[in-house]
Amino acid sequence: MKQGRDPGAYLSPGSARVRPGAASANQIPAAPHTAAATSSASADPPVVPMPTAAPMAATMLDWSRRLLEQAEQAHREVTGQAQRLRLGALETLAAVYVPQVLARLAGRRPGIEVQVHPTARRDDLLADVAAGRLEAALLLDTGEVLGTLGFSAPPAPLAFLDIGTVPLVLVAAPGHRLSGRPALSAEDLAGERLLVNAPGCSFHMAADKVFAPTLQRIPAGGVQVMRAWAEQGLGIALLPEFAASAALRSGTLTELGLPVPALSLRLVWRGDREALPGLRDLLYAAVP
């Protein structure tokens, strides 16, 4: 990110790089009109609809959260405590990408403390960001709408920014029948065994978008198990490049020539919390 640029150009809801969610569920709709009585002598007094309990409760909850955050910030400023932010990340990303974010943030704002919360469950990340238990989270997705990869987005509106790409590679053991052949098609994979991990995993979802459902899926646990099984010739595997690069360099895996779209490295946060002290610094630090 270039220095001196207005932060709003990157993080405001109108930015082309930031995609806000749907309209807030906390907005209370205007009360409907009540038709006037036709006879002033016999007409009852007009009934004014009162706000329903659900929107009122949602509004009170939102205000309670804001007041609590302001009270915590005031306490930190009075006592001189460091600003503390909570960043969630998928476990597969925490080891590779989160250290880069922390290093950039430490160089720009050393007074901000970041607590990293890695997890294997994307749904937990999204729910925690929506509920305010996390300030931001790193996950994998694709497309212009949150959840295009195949997962359900939370009902709360979330903003997101794609801060990079995660290339994928289709790999197999050396000597595979398709190794060395360029420009493979999906039809060339007929009869192959595709090693996959849990159905809700990003790489499983990516495989479902690339490969026909008729291609046999072999459950193989996590990414490391998929890689090890592919090295031993038990099937082919769609892996993130960062997880396969060492094996490709050493020759224990070979890349098959099927073009595969990369996934987006996506940073997600609540747009209505951008004013939280330190949050924008964390968001900026996530951008290389």
**pLDDT tens, 21-43?**
533 333 323 333 333 333 344 44
**pLDDT tens, 56-77?**
665 655 555 555 545 544 444 4
**pLDDT tens, 195-243?**
999 999 999 999 999 999 999 999 998 999 999 999 999 999 999 999 9
Looking from the CA of 142 toward its CB, the CA atoms found within 13 Å total 16
Q: Provide the pLDDT for residue 288.
A: 86
* Residue 19 or residue 211, greater confidence: 211
Residue 8 — pLDDT band, cuts 50, 70, 90? very low
Q: Is-above-0.85 flag for pTM?
A: no
Q: What is the dihedral of CA 149, 150, 154, 159, to 10 degrees?
A: 10
- In CATH, which superfamily holds the domain spanning 8-20+60-164+265-286? Periplasmic binding protein-like II (3.40.190.10)
Percent of the chain beyond pLDDT 70? 72
Residue 157 — pLDDT band, cuts 50, 70, 90? confident
**pLDDT tens, 101-139?**
999 999 988 889 999 999 999 999 999 999 999 999 999
Q: Provide the pLDDT for residue 156.
A: 82
Residue 264 — pLDDT band, cuts 50, 70, 90? very high
Q: Does domain 168-261 have CATH number 3.40.190.10?
A: yes
Q: Provide the pLDDT for residue 15.
A: 37
* CATH topology match: 8-20+60-164+265-286 vs 168-261: yes
Residue 184 — pLDDT band, cuts 50, 70, 90? very high
Q: Provide the pLDDT for residue 64.
A: 57
Asked if pLDDT for residue 144 goes beyond 90, the answer is: yes
Residue 23 and residue 11: Cα distance in Å, rounded?
17
**What residue ranges do the domains of the chain occupy?**
8-20+60-164+265-286, 168-261
Average confidence score pLDDT of the chain: 81
